């Protein structure tokens, strides 16, 4: 690097750290609340019970961390972790885990399956406030990811008015 470039880069450093007072204010972001997570889980369980499925449900927040989870009566032990992975996939990708499955079925995008903790199977649905992904719900236990996704969407529908 030439002297002139090093000097110019060094001269810019002080400007990078001089922020206005408004830039120092705390971040304000939308996220899944506990009440919202509980309502979503209730909606999922109601729909799946109506359809005759025993499922586990996991809701993750904006950061992809578990906000709430419930293991349904009579579900297999793996359903909790699988539900978490489905929710994490939907949150991370900003798309349903079924859409992710369809995307990664193509050879040119199959490499995306290498992202840690993502799964290519239906049942995970992002929770969006407007266009912003603020969390996701993952459902596991119905006979097929498409059926899990129907239940996940029913849970989100229960809180849709507060996501506008």
* Reported pTM: 0.85
Residue 27 has what pLDDT?
Answer: 84
Average pLDDT, the chain: 91
- pLDDT tens, 33-81? 999 999 999 999 999 999 999 999 999 999 999 999 999 999 999 999 9
In angstroms, the CA 139 to CA 123 distance is 5
* pLDDT confidence of residue 47: 98
pLDDT value of position 164: 86
Out of 3.30.1490.20, 3.30.450.150, 2.40.160.10, 3.40.50.300, the CATH code matching 29-163 is 3.30.450.150
| Spatial distance between the Cα atoms of 19 and 63, rounded to a whole number of angstroms | 26
The pLDDT assigned to 112 comes to 97
Band (25; pLDDT cuts 50, 70, 90):
confident
Question: What gap in Å lies between CA 54 and CA 80, rounded to an integer?
Answer: 12
Percent of the chain with pLDDT over 70: 86
Q: How many residues does the chain have?
A: 164
pLDDT over 60 at 9, yes or no: no
Q: What is the pLDDT of residue 14?
A: 60
How many CB atoms lie under 10 A from the CB of residue 13? 8
* Band of pLDDT at residue 18, cut at 50, 70 and 90: low
- pLDDT tens, 132-160? 999 999 999 999 999 999 999 999 999 99
- Express each pLDDT in 86-123 by its tens digit: 999 999 999 999 999 999 999 999 999 999 999 999 99
The reported pLDDT for the residue numbered 28 is 87
> In the chain, what are the domain boundaries?
29-163
């Amino acid at each position: 690097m030439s002297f002139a470039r090093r000097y110019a880069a060094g001269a810019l450093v002080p400007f990078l750290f001089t922020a206005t007072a408004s830039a120092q204010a705390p971040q304000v972001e939308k996220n899944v609340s506990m009440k919202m997570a509980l309502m979503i889980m209730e909606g999922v369980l109601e729909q799946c019970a109506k359809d005759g499925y025993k499922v586990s449900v996991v809701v993750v927040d904006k950061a992809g961390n578990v906000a709430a989870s419930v293991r349904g009566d009579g579900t297999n032990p793996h359903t909790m972790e699988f539900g978490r992975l489905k929710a994490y996939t939907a949150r991370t990708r900003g798309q349903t885990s079924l859409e992710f499955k369809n995307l990664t079925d193509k050879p040119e995008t199959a490499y995306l399956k290498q992202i840690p903790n993502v799964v290519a199977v239906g049942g995970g649905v992002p929770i969006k406030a407007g266009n912003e992904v603020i969390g996701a719900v993952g459902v596991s236990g119905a006979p097929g990811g498409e059926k899990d996704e129907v239940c996940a969407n029913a849970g989100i529908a229960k809180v849709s008015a507060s996501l506008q």
